Amino acid sequence: MEHVIEEKATSLTFSDVVKGRLGGKTMTLCYQCGTCASSCPVAKITPRFNPREIIKLSLLGEKDEVISGDAIWLCCSCYNCQERCPQKVEIADVIYALRNIALKEGYIPNIYSEFASALLNDGRIVKVSRFVENKRPTIGLPPLQPTGVDALRKILSATGFDKLQQKKEGVS
């Protein structure tokens, strides 16, 4: 019994943390009408993502389920849900907040992590392949310029992004 109470106490904190983030304050307005879900192009094609459920779980404080799963990373940020929500819940923004929390806790799908590390190392999210480089002159495009990765690193360092990435790499 004690165990249950303890768990409840910690989970309450999670929903408060989300409420404290940008857009999070509006979360309590949700009455689970599901307008977001039926507006969502992703939810329509996969049962792995449902914005209504994400809001509900966040309100219930189900931290582990929310931040360790891949659901929050499936949002395509079309903002259809937010546009149509009758309660003005900032759903897409809440999902960004959840992603940020997940990231801090070291949860990030590998593909995102790879993008991040590529950005830090090469200044590009996707490495340019030899094939692409060779193809460019054939359609009249100039060769790609260097990315100015030094400036980019400075920006990423100033925002603390590099540290997050190091943490992630340390974890994995």
Residues that bind another protein (CB under 8 A): 29, 31-39, 43-44, 47, 50, 52, 80, 84, 86-88
| CB closer to another protein, 55 vs 95 | 55
Q: How far is the CB of 77 from another protein (least distance, A)?
A: 17
Query: How many whole angstroms separate alpha carbon 19 and alpha carbon 36?
Result: 19
Is the Cβ of residue 31 or residue 131 nearer to another protein in the bound state?
A: 31
Rounded to a whole number of angstroms, the minimum distance from the CB of residue 156 to another protein is 38
**Comparison of 60 and 152: residue with beta carbon closer to another protein:** 60
CA torsion, points 93, 23, 85, 102, in degrees to nearest 10? Answer: 40
Yes or no: say if 54 and 98 are a contact pair by the CB < 8 Å rule.
yes
Asked if 95 and 54 touch (Cβ cutoff 8 Å), the reply is yes
29: which residues sit within 8 A by CB, 6+ positions away? 87, 88, 89
**Least distance (Å) between residue 42 CB and another protein:** 12
CB of 31 vs another protein, minimal distance in Å: 6
In terms of CB distance, is 44 or 163 closer to another protein?
Answer: 44
| Min separation Cβ 89 and another protein, Å | 9
Identity of the residue numbered 85: C
User: For 84, how many CA atoms within 13 A lie in the half-sphere containing its CB?
Assistant: 14
Nearer to another protein, 7 or 83 (CB): 83
Q: Alpha helix locations (H) across the chain?
A: 2-20, 35-39, 51-60, 63-68, 80-84, 91-104, 110-122, 130-138, 149-158, 161-171
